[in-house]
Amino acid sequence: MSSKGLALGIDVGGSGIKGAPVDLHKGEFAADRMRIDTPKPATPEAVCKVIGQIVEHFDEVHDDSPIGVTIPGVVTEGTVRSAANIDKTWIDYDVKTLLQKELGHTVHVVNDADAAGVAELHYGAADNRDGLVVLTTLGTGIGTALLYNGTLIPNSELGHLELDGVDAETVAASSIKDKEGLSYAEWAKRLQRYYAHLEALLWPDLFVVGGGVSKDSQKFLPLLNIRTPIVPAQLRNKAGIIGAAHLAKQAHRLR
């Protein structure tokens, strides 16, 4: 296919920044992904320089290519509002304006879990699902995305729900499983408490479970006893890039 107008997705993580142009008809990368280590300290300015290197790397990115960027925090109108698992200098930083100035492209900045949810909705485990879909990403923390009848309800941040007097992600994230040396059965008891709580609050039609640990979903999802269907994500570590590109293209059309 022609590369004209391909959207580029970039996923900013704690250890690496990854990007690729995306074929939005297929929901697939249009070129091999590029990864660069996240700079330390990971200030907005330092991260934006790395994003610029990734953009320059791809011949598939043209002047009319929109760029989507995921951030592990709340994002409103291109400004980052929270920094639970990133450098605190991101708080209240207008990263969209900085990136558009530096890159010369239309840029859409989005919460990382929201991007993953959109990707799973259009190309993955939630494809063609109506009603309320809740995606959770189990990783360093717990990210969430709410999707109702195909529409994203952004910045849900339900990993920070108070659960038994503490922030849910501080007891149920997969990083906590590793840190405390929990077996899958032990960890599943904590996940049971978390998903049952979400279920009682929202009555969703589907849970989609993402994050790196989703590749081992058969070791813990069958241990959960909830009424809502719960399935592993299909796009795994590609979801953030694909969802960011999809949302960037959508925003570009609306300009």
Measure the CA–CA gap between 193 and 212, rounded to whole angstroms. Answer: 21
Share of the chain above pLDDT 70, in %: 97
pLDDT band for 68, please (50, 70, 90 cuts). Answer: very high
All domains of the chain in start order, with CATH = 7-114+238-253 (3.30.420.40), 128-233 (3.30.420.40)
**Residue 112: pLDDT above 50?**
yes
pLDDT band for 2, please (50, 70, 90 cuts). Answer: very low
Question: For 147-167, what is the mean pLDDT?
Answer: 96
Question: For 246-252, what is the mean pLDDT?
Answer: 92
pLDDT in tens, 175-234: 999 999 999 999 999 999 999 999 999 999 999 999 999 999 999 999 999 999 999 999
**Residue 9: pLDDT above 90?**
yes
pLDDT recorded at residue 79? 97
244 contacts 250 by C-beta, under 8 angstroms: no
What residues contact residue 206 under an 8 Å CB cut-off, 6+ apart? 126, 129, 131, 132, 133, 134, 228, 229, 230, 231
Measure the CA–CA gap between 140 and 161, rounded to whole angstroms. Answer: 16
